[in-house]
Amino acid sequence: MSRHRIDGRRIDIERLDDVPRLVAATELARTLARALEAASAPSPASIGLVLAGDRELAELNVGHLGKSGPTDVLSFPLLPREAFRPGGTPPAFALPPRRMPHLGDVVVSVERAIAQAEGGRGGQTGDVRWSPADELRLLVTHGALHVCGWDHAEPDEERAMRALEASLLGQ
């Protein structure tokens, strides 16, 4: 596991065994930190990023969402959406000394990122052929925004989320 501190936030990145290294952990930490900053995430705080494969995502997908098969990214937020509004504050709860609130965790299937990118099923629209590294950065950004309460269930929400992702990724 690698630990990164950016803008008062601790980002823990765990790469499971046999997961390809598409992007350096420091770059993924910066990608995640940019999304947290844009989403007005509280600071100081911590967040976890797990780089896994299809098997792990399939297990999580069925266990948490009741859907069979792998997915590309899952987010596990721990704070309510209100904690991520400009000027918002995380809920007050007792923490051990020198501990910060944990925002949640993002789990990405690097296997899905590679398959989607190489198969022309990447990007926000699912029809982009680009590098697996670009797809991985998109999935990390997408997952971080979900931890911060962003969603894409409604058309207006989707437009706003996609625009922020594109801006953060420099597209």
CATH number of the domain within which 57 lies: 3.40.390.30
Confirm if 61 and 25 have CB atoms less than 8 A apart. no
Confidence of residue 124 (pLDDT cuts 50, 70, 90): confident
Give the 3-state secondary structure of residue 61. helix
What mean pLDDT, rounded, does the chain reach? 91
- Please give the pLDDT value at position 137: 97
Flag whether 94 is in a domain: no
Q: What is the mean predicted confidence (pLDDT) over 121-127?
A: 83
DSSP labels for 115-163? Answer: HHHHTT-BTTTT-B---HHHHHHHHHHHHHHHHTT---SSHHHHHHHHH
Higher pLDDT, 119 or 124: 119
Q: Tell me the backbone φ, ψ of residue 122, rounded to 5 degrees.
A: -100, -170
Whether the bond into 42 is cis, omega within 30 of 0: no
Q: How confident is the model at residue 126 (pLDDT cuts 50, 70, 90)?
A: confident
66 versus 96: which is more confidently predicted? 66
Whole-prediction pTM = 0.92
Flag whether 91 is in a domain.
no
Q: Is residue 95 part of a domain?
A: no
Is 34 within the bounds of a domain?
A: yes
Residue 68: per-residue pLDDT: 93
Give the model's pLDDT for residue 93. Answer: 62
Write out the residue range of the structural domain in which residue 21 sits.
2-85+100-168
Q: 101 falls in which pLDDT band (50, 70, 90)?
A: confident
Q: Residue 84 corresponds to which tokens in the numbers above?
A: 């991520």
The answer to whether residues 15 and 25 touch, using CB atoms and an 8 Å cutoff, is yes
With a cut of 80, say whether residue 77 has pLDDT above it. Answer: yes
Query: How many domains is the chain partitioned into structurally?
Result: 1
Tell me the residue ranges of DSSP E strands in the chain. 2-6, 9-15, 45-52, 73-77, 102-109
List the structure tokens of 126. Answer: 């699912």
pLDDT mean over 64-69: 90
Judge whether residue 88 has pLDDT over 70.
no
Of 43-57, 100-114, 116-130, 155-169, least confident by mean pLDDT is 116-130
Share above pLDDT 70 across residues of the chain, in percent, rounded to a whole number? 92
In a domain, residue 93? The reply is: no
